[in-house]
Chains A and B, each alone.
Chain A
Amino acid sequence: MSGLDIWMRENPLAYVWLGSYAVAFFIFTIEIAMVRHKRKITLQQVRLMREAEDEARDDKFGGND
């Protein structure tokens, strides 16, 4: 019987919390961070595109005057 086997039987609640719940909530945290990051990046891209379009339009109008 290995050390882990003995440890988990002596500390079942620690095993359950660290092994299952901590891992699950860590995964949830990572997912939330990724979703927020994606939102930030996408908004930046869309803003950049809009600014580029505005500039292009301004240039065009400037040229016509």
Chain B
Amino acid sequence: MAINWFKYSAPTTFYGLAGKLIPWFAFSSAILFVVGLYIGFAVAPADYQQGEFYRIIFIHVPSSILSMFLYLVMAGYAALGLIFNTRLSAMMATAIAPTGALFAFISLWTGALWGKPMWGAWWVWDARLTSELILLFLYLGFIALHASIDDPRRADRASALLAIVGSVNVPIIYFSVQWWNTLHQGSTIKFSGTSMHVAMQQAMFITLAACWLYAIAVVLARVRSIILERERNTTWITELPEVRS
């Protein structure tokens, strides 16, 4: 058993590093949420068309962006694990999936609550909304597939394939409003700039940063448990202070 020690050096150092970083990410996330929502609700003006309802944007847009980016990060880790057979990458992919799924759900939920008063419908089968719903199902499919296979290495490989195949959906979500006629409006944040009042923009970018930090903190905390679980037969785990005590 002691021979395996060096092979797992990556998770070893990562486990400790993640443990030190989590409080910082969590703390700055909380601060940024408070600041961002203060600007969003107290400083930013009401919208000329939508009045107060547009304020859903400060959670809707960050969670939509996160749901798409986290999927790409997850698929990237899954691909790394598949190609280089590194154990930590597969663990990271499994740790990201639940957070990504929750952000996709929040994006759909807040979108429905925004759509009802503004468009006149909770849900419309337009390309943007449908592809975001598919993203949620891809996350759930990834989680279910990984849980259905007992051998973790085989589970990693099978779910990695699903994650990689599913990543084609992310550009479809992003470009759907340009490619097809949709009820959903075009992108506010474009590569060329934004079409938004300054305070609204600041609030949105700050809550976006807060969501990012939150996601990183939760994913790191989850991956630490996964490392503990999967490497429990190694000496370095049994020598950890929290295990010894």
A35 to B224: give the CA distance in the assembly, Å: 10
Q: Is the CB of A45 within 8 A of B53?
A: no
A49 to B59: give the CA distance in the assembly, Å: 43
Q: Is the CB of B242 within 8 A of A43?
A: yes
Q: Is the CB of A24 within 8 A of B106?
A: yes
Interface residues of B in 37-66 (CB under 8 A from A): 37, 41, 51-53, 55-56, 59-60, 63
Residues of chain B lying within 8 A (CB to CB) of residue A45: 229, 232
User: Which of A20, A27, A42, A50 contacts B105 (CB under 8 A)?
Assistant: A27
Q: Is the CB of A50 within 8 A of B243?
A: yes
Return the chain B residue nearest A9 by Cβ.
Answer: B117
Q: Is the CB of A20 within 8 A of B116?
A: no
Interface residues of A in 26-65 (CB under 8 A from B): 27-28, 31-32, 35-36, 38-39, 42-43, 45-47, 49-50, 53
What secondary structure prevails in chain B residues at the interface with A?
helix
A9 to B136: give the CA distance in the assembly, Å: 30
In the assembled complex, how far is the CB of residue B62 from the closest CB belonging to chain A, in whole angstroms? 10
Return the chain B residue nearest A54 by Cβ.
Answer: B238
On whether A35 and B218 interact (CB within 8 A), knowing A12-B52, A43-B242, the answer reads yes
Residues of chain A lying within 8 A (CB to CB) of residue B229: 42, 45-46
On whether A35 and B228 interact (CB within 8 A), knowing A8-B117, A24-B106, A43-B242, the answer reads no
Return the chain B residue nearest A35 by Cβ.
Answer: B221
A8 to B122: give the CA distance in the assembly, Å: 13
Q: List 19 A-B contacts (CB under 8 A).
A: A5-B117, A13-B55, A15-B53, A15-B113, A16-B56, A20-B109, A20-B114, A24-B63, A24-B110, A27-B102, A27-B106, A31-B98, A36-B221, A39-B221, A39-B225, A42-B225, A42-B229, A46-B232, A46-B237
A-side residues, CB < 8 A to B, are: 5, 8-9, 12-13, 15-16, 19-21, 23-24, 27-28, 31-32, 35-36, 38-39, 42-43, 45-47, 49-50, 53
Q: Which 9 A-B pairs have the closest CB atoms?
A: A12-B52, A19-B113, A20-B110, A42-B225, A35-B221, A38-B225, A42-B228, A46-B232, A20-B56
